[in-house]
Each structure stands twice: as structure tokens, then as C-alpha cells.
Amino acid sequence: METQYTSTRNSNVHINTKEAIVKGFSDDNGLFVLPHLSDHKINLGSIMKQDYQGMAAIILQKLLPDFSATEIKQCLHDAYDHSFDTKKITPLVQVDNFHVLELFHGPTSAFKDVGLQLLPQLMKHALKPEQRVMILAATSGDTGTAALAGFKNTKQMGITVFYPHGGVSPIQQQQMLTTKGNNTNVASIKGNFDDAQTNVKKIFNNQNVKKQIGKHVSLSSANSINIGRLIPQIVYYFSAYQQLIQSHQIQIGDQINFTVPTGNFGDILAGYYAKKLGLPIKKLVIACNANNVLADFFHDGVYNRNRKFYKTVAPSMDIQVSSNFERLLYYKSGENAEYVKQLMDDLSTNGQYRVSKDVLNRIKQDFSCGFSDDRAIEDSIKTVYQKYHYLMDPHTAAGYQVMRKIQKQDSKTPMILLSTASPYKFVSAVSDAILGHHDQSVIQTTKNIYNTTKVKIPNNLTDIWDLPIAKSPVIEPNAMSSFVVQKVSEVFSNDQN
């Protein structure tokens, strides 16, 4: 029998994997999930013998069974064989008594590349010849950049990205505005990431938009709400484990911990999926920045977004509605879609919800949580650089002190810190931390960091220095739907697409 996905908010929904990827988001505003995840255990001994693509093939075949083995092999080849700067794809680096999983070796120097090099390939094999799809992405900086790189010039697809005006780093903005494609569109909105994400979700199920774009065009998502974006991220948890075995730090079957800087909760949820598939993970440690909704939730089980929104030095994590937490609530409530729907209705009506003690305790069995404010982030960048000569970006650094607290309670279990982006994407904060100042010019600041640290600057970031920067409109959140309609008509008006 085909593996059927359902919705976090309605257990009567049944959808196969190709359709789930093309749709991206359920009609009831829920997220597609695979029930009984632990029934899909992976043989650890066999998967540990594979290279990265081989591990990915095993995981994808388990969770996306509508794709043939040949399709998956082709997708993995096209996604990973030539676009990362290392064959390991996500190399593990030892620093003191912890390990950093570097997820920034792809074409835009952030972990999103792992999902967004593969998603367009999966989409290509899932689309019927007559179908057209406009992919929407809400971004706090990294997803939009990686989505543009992944989807640019793809046949049958267009990509439209919305980012918060003034809410991403100058380099992230420059990356987005220098990406050229015959199907790429970018706008900034007068609002924050949550406004962009909420409105994108509304657009998916907006009947008026559906009518205007016509039957042959559908909308889908490049964010981790799309299960096809999330599943590729499970692979690097297995790869990290394999690298620890290969460096004789652990033996197969030993437990390990992961600390994951967290915004939309996709990256860490992929770790939870890895655990359910059989990877020996003891704890997944959630690290927030000053937007610490989740850290407060761990105290009393109340998820409350009625609070000040902070623009921090880790802008990609400036998020108060962590979309994928909904998927965790689904699993931790015993796959109770009615319960999840009630919580999500409370969140949209009152800006908050409270989970039962049981659900909170079940979450705490697998997860811990903490946060770092801007000061702690800059202190961490400085400390780790001065003591261990390792240069972290501000998002990775948001995890450092949170991780150290857990290591004090449990010094024996090996710890891996996920490094989400290159430090060269956030040069002002990095320069402030290690040099005590930054230059007005991003290029000069980048050079200053390089001259001091000799840490290599990724080519993709220097390549954009001289490229022409496109103008992008600044729009009100309520104008996003008409922007999408207009871009659908522009991108798909000629037969080439």
C-alpha cells in the first residue's frame, strides 16, 4: 500500500507523497504529516555504509514511496553531485569537546540549500506535463535566497519570494536581488517574517486567487511547511552520526545529542524524524534567539506570541510562529488532529494556546530548550573564535551557550551543534564580535574578517559583489495576493514555461 500522508488538522485527509509535495499545504490550513512514523524504521547498519546520496536514497524511498528508485537517484544526482563544495555535503568539524555540523556548503551558504536543491527535482518528477506551479516562499533571509537558487529557470515552475523590509542581512538581500531567472520574483513587505508567512498561508487557500490564476496553475511552498523541503533535511542527522563513527568517537548504537538553532522549527523537526526512524538521539536541544516563544513554552506549556518582536543579529530566526511545531504537536498528542486544530484555532484567534501537561511532558522527553539574546550571541562568537579559532555565524552562535548548559548536565553524550549558515552572510555582527567594530561597507567588513581569521569566503558570496542589483517592490502584506496573481500571469504567459 502507498504511504499516505494526512493533515495535522484533519485525519480524514489522505494524500500520496507526490501530491503532498506539489500541494505543499493542506486545504484545511494544516501541514501534511505521515502517521505512525516509527513504523518506518531504517536499518542503521546498512545506512551507515552509504555515502551521503546513498543515505538520502534510503530515507527518501521510505518516506516518499511514490517516487521510483530511478527517479530518486536522478533527483539526488541533480541536487547534490555538483552544487556543494564538498563531497560530504554536510561535513562535521570537531571543536573542543563538541562537533559542528556545517550545513552551509551549498550554493547560497545556508542549510536551506540541502532541502532547496532537492525540492525542485522532486517537484519536477511529481508534476504532470500539463501542470504549472508557482512556488511561494516567506523568508527571513536564507530560505528565499536558497529557493531562488533552486527554482530559477526550472520548467513548469515559478518562484515568488517575500521578505520583511529591513529584516534580513544586507548580504541575504543582495543574494536575492542578484539572482536572475526567467521565473523568479521578489518583493519585500512592510511587516515581519510572521506577517509574510501568515499571508502566504492565506494565499494558498484563497478562492479568489485560485480563480484568477486558473485551473492549470497551482501554488506550493518552498518553506519547511512543505514535506518535500523537510524530508531532505533528515539525511544530515544520519550523516553526522556516520561521521562520528568514522572518526571513532562513537560506536554504532551509541546515543548522541544535537543542538539546533531554531526559527520555523523545520531543522530540528527533521532531527525528531531521524530519531523516529531509528537514529540513536538522546536529546534535541532547541536554541532560540531573543524571540524566545518556545523557551517560555517549555516552562508552562503556553505558546504565547503576544509579545514584543525583536530584530536581532540572527535575523533568520526572528520568528514567533514556528510553523513546524504544529507537526510536533500532532505526534506528541497521539496524532490527534482535532486537538491540534483546536490549538491552532486558539493561536490564530487569541495569539496563544496551552497544551496539556501530558503533551508538554512528552515533548520534554525528547527536547530541551533555551535561548541566547544578542549579547550572548556576540559573546559566543568571540569566545569560540578566541579559544578554539572556530568562526561561527550568529545563528550557530545562538546555540552555543544553550548547548554548554546541556553539556554541564550531561558531559558524556557526544554533542553536535548544527551550523546553519556561513559567518560571511552576517558580517556586521561577526566583525563586531571579533574585531569590536564593523565597516559601513559590507565588502570591506568581509575583507577585514578574512584578513584576521583567514577563514575562506565562499565563492558564491564574493561572486555577487559586482552583479547588478534588481529593484524589488516594497508592498503591504495585504497586497501579496495580487502580487502573486500578477507574477503567475507573467511567468506562465508564454509556452516556454
Ligand X SMILES: N[C@@H](CCOP(=O)(O)O)C(=O)O
CB of 163 to ligand X, least distance (A): 8
Cα 375 to Cα 290, 385, 397, 427, 432: the distances in Å are: 10, 15, 11, 16, 11
Ranges within 307-346 binding ligand X (CB under 6 A): 316
Among 174, 223, 239, 320, binds ligand X (CB under 6 A): 223
Cβ closest to ligand X, residue 325 vs residue 492: 325
The site string for ligand X over 150-169 (x = CB under 6 A, - otherwise) reads --------------------
Cα-based angle 156, 160, 163 (whole degrees, multiple of 5): 160
Measured in Å, how far apart are the chain's first and last C-alpha atoms?
A: 34
Cβ closest to ligand X, residue 169 vs residue 401: 169
CB of 203 to ligand X, least distance (A): 16
* Residue 26: HSE in the Cβ half-sphere, 13 Å Cα cutoff: 24
Cβ closest to ligand X, residue 22 vs residue 434: 22
Answer yes or no whether residue 143 interacts with ligand X by CB under 6 A.
Answer: yes
Residue 275 annotated in active site: no
Cell of 159: 518562484
Region near ligand X per CB under 6 A, out of 38-46, 72-80, 133-141, 466-474: 133-141
CB of 54 to ligand X, least distance (A): 25
Q: Which residues of 446-457 are buried (b: 16+ CB within 10 A; e: fewer)?
A: bebbeeebeeeb
Phi and psi at residue 32, to the nearest 5°: -75, 135
Region near ligand X per CB under 6 A, out of 70-78, 142-150, 432-440, 445-453: 142-150
Answer yes or no whether residue 142 interacts with ligand X by CB under 6 A.
Answer: yes
CB of 114 to ligand X, least distance (A): 11
Size of the site for ligand X (CB under 6 A): 12
Nearest CA to 378 out of 432, 446, 440, 454 is that of: 432
CB of 224 to ligand X, least distance (A): 3
Among 107, 141, 158, 167, binds ligand X (CB under 6 A): 141
- Supply the DSSP string of 117-181, one letter for each residue: HHHHHHHHHHS-TT-EEEEEEE-SSHHHHHHHHHHTT-TTEEEEEEEETT-S-HHHHHHHHH---
C-alpha 306/C-alpha 358 separation (Å) is: 24
Cβ closest to ligand X, residue 47 vs residue 328: 328
Evaluate whether 182 touches 208 at the Cβ level (below 8 Å): no
Contacting residues for 381 by C-beta, under 8 A, at least 6 apart: 391, 392, 394, 397, 423, 429, 430, 433, 434
Cα 434 to Cα 315, 425, 451: the distances in Å are: 19, 15, 12
Among 6, 108, 140, 220, binds ligand X (CB under 6 A): 140
CB of 137 to ligand X, least distance (A): 7
What's the chain's Rg over C-alpha atoms?
A: 21
Ranges within 227-286 binding ligand X (CB under 6 A): 263-264, 266
Longest dimension (CA), the chain: 61
* Residue 274: HSE in the Cβ half-sphere, 13 Å Cα cutoff: 31
C-alpha 385/C-alpha 376 separation (Å) is: 14
Answer yes or no whether residue 29 interacts with ligand X by CB under 6 A.
Answer: no
In the set 18, 23, 112, 201, the catalytic residue is: 112
Cβ closest to ligand X, residue 324 vs residue 448: 324
Among 11, 17, 192, 224, binds ligand X (CB under 6 A): 224
Cβ closest to ligand X, residue 261 vs residue 414: 261
Cβ closest to ligand X, residue 262 vs residue 431: 262
Ranges within 181-210 binding ligand X (CB under 6 A): none
CB of 161 to ligand X, least distance (A): 9
Q: What residues act catalytically?
A: 112
Residues engaged in binding ligand X (CB under 6 A): 139-144, 223-224, 263-264, 266, 316
